[in-house]
Amino acid sequence: MTGNLSETRVDATTDMPEEPTQALRFGRARTARSSALQEDYVELIADLMAAHGEARATDIAKRMGVTHPTALKSITRLKREGLVTSRPYRGIFLTEAGQELAQRVRARHRLMVEFLLALGVPAEAAEADAEGMEHYASEATLAAFGRFLGRLRRDI
């Protein structure tokens, strides 16, 4: 109709073209999305290990709300990524890398939940939302959440 305007359009406030930066943002979101599931698995495995001393495939599947073959496939991927080890018909174990990841993910999760609770979000919603949002919060955002909680505690 009007021809290609996209090459010449600029952002009103910055005088910079908007496409590349937005494409980068979406790209990062895609990357985060693809690691989100792995982070959830690793966190869950760490939880099960802490609670039961072991992480079994069926329990993982139950907790994830997924059939066991699906869980097994995801675990296979975790093995390939070096986050987890397992021998046939034996439990699942986190590698060094897996434990480090689990620790970071759990800290992030706790911070996220605490932050939402502090804002007045009901507990169940806070847990549910954190489960999704935590994977997309950058260090900058997590730091801001931390500062907020710090201020709250200081000002009582």
Partner DNA sequence: ACTGAATTGTACCCTTGGCTACATTAGTCT
Partner DNA sequence: AGACTAATGTAGCCAAGGGTACAATTCAGT
Contact residues for a copy of itself, defined by CB under 8 A: 1-2, 5-6, 9, 18-19, 21-29, 32-33, 36, 40, 51-54, 56, 58-59, 62-66, 91, 116, 119-122, 124-129, 131-133, 135-138, 140-141, 144-145, 147-148
Judged by beta carbon distances under 5 to 8 A according to partner kind, the member of DNA, a copy of itself, none in contact with residue 110 is none
Place of tokens 């397992």: 86
In this complex, which beta carbon is closest to a copy of itself, that of residue 16 or of residue 97? 16
Q: Any contact of residue 69 with DNA (CB under 7 A)?
A: yes
In this complex, which beta carbon is closest to DNA, that of residue 74 or of residue 111? 74
Which candidate, 60, 55, 156, 46, places its Cα nearest to that of 107?
A: 46
In this complex, which beta carbon is closest to a copy of itself, that of residue 51 or of residue 107? 51
Place of tokens 């909680």: 149
